[in-house]
């Protein structure tokens, strides 16, 4: 856990999510890491998913050191359905139930359509869209069985607004919005809530992985030119959404930095 994650956790420490079991995908860095810490701090039993095992292990230790229940983790790739099944099964074996799924794992391969590496497009859809849908598919029977659950899908402002060089990334995040709304209509009568989070620019390592060099440079400059959000800002919004009474479904939260105009 980073120093700032840790102090954010302390600030919000409470037991509003006591005994709730939450899975967080993409928990090895950025928004997922901060959200896992914030959920643990609010009393939840947390199960972490991502590929970088060393980061997940360190986060578990760090959360325990802060005095909260030690999470469990599954080194897993959300593009691999067998990894998802293993993590969901392991979480139920350990904690007995699943109340909350934070579908956060994602990549952002921004760049122009002309000349794009189409392998990047496939990878983005495999992770951002199918990974999120398959995680949802795997946890849903457990939530419906207990007539309660909350699925939080991390989309983006790019799931509302499209700009040049974000055509493919926006396509994945618009898909997240469409899937979430259809899902919400299907499962709300079964006690399962669905929330979409649409962050603007957040200072994380997401931009480090942009493969188009010119786009990466301009996006990094754009983010550096404003007071970007922190991962904890988004984690706080997620904790707010999942802490509401069962009769309240926060459908959508859009959060931009004050300095971000579009
Ligand atoms: P990070 O790069 O810090 O985090 C991305 C996380 O996703 C990492 O934990 C990474 O873990 C995980 N991940 C990536 N690929 C896979 C995979 N195949 N299987 C499992 N986990 C995977 O970026 P952010 O925290 O910023 O991004 C989190 C989410 O927020 C994403 O969905 C992103 O689109 C969204 N978002 C971010 C914004 C921003 O400005 N930062 C703005 C709007 C939305 P690992 O590599 O260990 O697998």
pLDDT tens track for 22-64 = 999 999 999 999 999 999 999 999 999 999 999 999 999 999 9
Q: Structural domains in the chain?
A: 3-255 (3.40.50.720)
Among candidate residues 152, 169, 235, 237, the one labeled active-site is: 169
Order of strands across the sheet that contains 100-103 = 72-75, 45-50, 21-25, 100-103, 149-154, 192-199, 252-255
Out of 5, 25, 30, 38, give the residue to mutate to test ligand 1, the one with the largest number of ligand atoms within 8 Å of its CB.
30
Please indicate, yes or no, whether the overall pTM of this predicted structure exceeds 0.85.
yes
Ligand 1 site, residue 105, Cβ cutoff 6 A: yes
Query: Which whole number is the average pLDDT over 174-190?
Result: 98
Ligand 1 site, residue 205, Cβ cutoff 6 A: yes
The two three-digit tokens of residue 148, written as one number: 């309660």
Ligand 1 site, residue 52, Cβ cutoff 6 A: yes
Task: Tell how far the Cα of 247 is from the centroid of ligand 1, in angstroms.
Answer: 30
Minimum-distance ligand 1 atom for the alpha carbon of 158: 43
Residue nearest to atom 44 of ligand 1 (CA): 156
**How far is it, in rounded angstroms, from Cα 172 to Cα 184?**
18
Q: Is 109 a catalytic residue?
A: no
Query: Which whole number is the average pLDDT over 154-168?
Result: 98
Task: Tell how far the Cα of 30 is from the centroid of ligand 1, in angstroms.
Answer: 7
What pLDDT was estimated at residue 3?
46
Ligand 1 site, residue 156, Cβ cutoff 6 A: yes
Task: Tell how far the Cα of 94 is from the centroid of ligand 1, in angstroms.
Answer: 25
Cβ atoms of 196 and 176 closer than 8 Å: yes
- Tens-digit pLDDT profile for residues 68-102: 999 999 999 999 999 999 999 999 999 999 999 99
- Tens-digit pLDDT profile for residues 6-30: 445 444 567 899 999 999 999 999 9
Residue 197 vs residues 65, 164, 165, 194, 250: alpha-carbon distances, Å: 29, 22, 22, 10, 10
Minimum-distance ligand 1 atom for the alpha carbon of 27: 9
Task: Tell how far the Cα of 26 is from the centroid of ligand 1, in angstroms.
Answer: 5
């Amino acid at each position: 856990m980073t120093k700032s994650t840790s102090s954010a956790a302390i600030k919000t420490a409470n037991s509003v999510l006591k005994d709730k079991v939450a899975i967080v995908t993409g928990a090895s860095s950025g928004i997922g890491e901060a959200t896992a810490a914030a959920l643990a701090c609010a009393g939840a039993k947390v199960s972490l998913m991502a590929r970088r095992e060393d980061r997940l292990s360190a986060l578990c230790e760090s959360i325990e050191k802060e005095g909260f229940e030690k999470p469990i983790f599954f080194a897993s790739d959300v593009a691999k359905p067998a990894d998802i099944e293993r993590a969901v099964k392991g979480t139920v074996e350990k904690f007995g139930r699943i109340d909350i799924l934070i579908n956060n794992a994602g990549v952002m391969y921004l760049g122009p359509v002309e000349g794009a590496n189409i392998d990047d497009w496939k990878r983005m859809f495999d992770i951002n869209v199918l990974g999120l849908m398959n995680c949802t598919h795997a946890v849903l029977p457990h939530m419906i069985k207990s007539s309660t659950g909350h699925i939080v899908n991390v989309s983006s402002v790019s799931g509302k607004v499209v700009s040049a060089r974000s055509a493919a990334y926006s396509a994945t995040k618009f898909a997240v919005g469409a899937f979430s709304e259809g899902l919400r209509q299907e499962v709300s009568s079964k006690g399962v809530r669905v929330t979409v989070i649409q962050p603007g620019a957040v200072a994380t390592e997401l931009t480090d992985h942009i493969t188009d060099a010119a786009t990466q440079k301009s996006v990094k400059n754009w983010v550096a030119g404003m007071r970007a959000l922190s991962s904890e800002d988004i984690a706080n919004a997620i904790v707010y959404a999942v802490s509401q009474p069962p009769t309240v479904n926060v459908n959508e939260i859009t959060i931009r930095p004050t300095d971000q105009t579009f």
